[in-house]
Amino acid sequence: MTAPAEQLSLITPAKPAHRPATNVVRLLLFNAQHASPDRSRRQAAWVAGQEGADIAVFTEVSSTHGGAALVTALAERGYTTVIAPQPQTHDYRTVIACRTADARPVQSPVAVSPHRAPAAHVTISGHDIGVLGLYVPSRGPKEHRNVAKRAFQDAVTQALPKLHAAFPAMPVIVAGDLNVVERSHQPPHKVFGEWEYTFYDSFQTAGLTDSFRHLHPDKTAHSWYGRTGNGFRFDHIFVSTPHTDQVLACNYHQEARETELTDHAVMTLRLSLPDVPDEQDEASATSRC
């Protein structure tokens, strides 16, 4: 993984558009659509301008110039920690950017293509949060149809039960473009096989809850649209099941897609944190003892 300091350019970082929240986790999921350097910089500017993007997970990030431009631009716009694993061969990757410096990369539990599955330990006001970003491969060329996709999905399925050990006694958030839909997806899509639905089901089996579906059990939503106009809910944010009561909001937003900054809807999550007494209150309480 590339250290955050290695991503800084010679340009003086701009003043952050927003300060990170101290009483809530604010996460934004964004598909970079293998953007060029110019569009990557515009994507970074747009995301940095969103108040709810204290933690930003980027999928489908280029491993070449476009991805490098994105990482640099994020650092310049106030993201103190940028976790951007570089693949050994030409492939897409996933990037996790945090406004707080109190975040560090941890070894990905996903054994296949770990550059598509970076993990981070983030601390907010004394509360620890585990984050795993995912970008599942598409079906691939005809001669290798579904080979990479199945291998990565199998590795993720094996890794998910390990998250509770990697991030003990803390909320865990898994966010990414899974390139699969839920069994009850509307409209139905015959292209998906049982093995793909089983992959989606594996998150619940591992103790993770679909945050959007938890809050909106009957709502139809799509994050990507095919050439025929059919909608797919490919992008997902899961939260460790014991912490689902802390989910305040989880939604899809179409603005960036409609302005062609990306071809996916943006997804956001807000997760509450227990109140933490400030240092003054603690000092006052100590003086009264």
Q: Domain for residue 184, yes or no?
A: yes
pLDDT at 189: 75
pLDDT at 192: 76
pLDDT at 125: 93
Q: Domain for residue 183, yes or no?
A: yes
Distance between first and last Cα of the chain: 47
The mean pLDDT value for 233-255 works out to 97
Q: Domain for residue 244, yes or no?
A: yes
pLDDT by residue (tens digit) across 41-99?
Answer: 999 999 999 999 999 999 999 999 999 999 999 999 999 999 999 998 889 999 999 99
Domain range enclosing 40: 25-274
pLDDT at 185: 79
Q: Quick one: which of 255, 218, 205, 214 has its CA closest to 236?
A: 214
The mean pLDDT value for 121-130 works out to 96
pLDDT at 13: 56
Q: Domain for residue 286, yes or no?
A: no
Domain count within the chain: 1
Q: Domain for residue 260, yes or no?
A: yes
Q: Domain for residue 18, yes or no?
A: no
pTM of the model: 0.89
pLDDT of 102 strictly over 80: yes
pLDDT of 194 strictly over 70: yes
Q: What is the CATH number of the domain that holds 47?
A: 3.60.10.10
Distance CA 142, CA 146 (A): 9
Q: Domain for residue 13, yes or no?
A: no
Q: What is the crossing angle of helices 65-76 and 37-48, to 10°?
A: 30
pLDDT at 230: 86
pLDDT at 159: 98
pLDDT at 276: 54
Q: Domain for residue 20, yes or no?
A: no
Angle at 281 between CA 276 and CA 285, to 5 degrees: 115
Chain centroid, CA 178 distance in Å: 11
The mean pLDDT value for 233-245 works out to 97
Q: What is the largest CA-CA distance in the chain?
A: 73
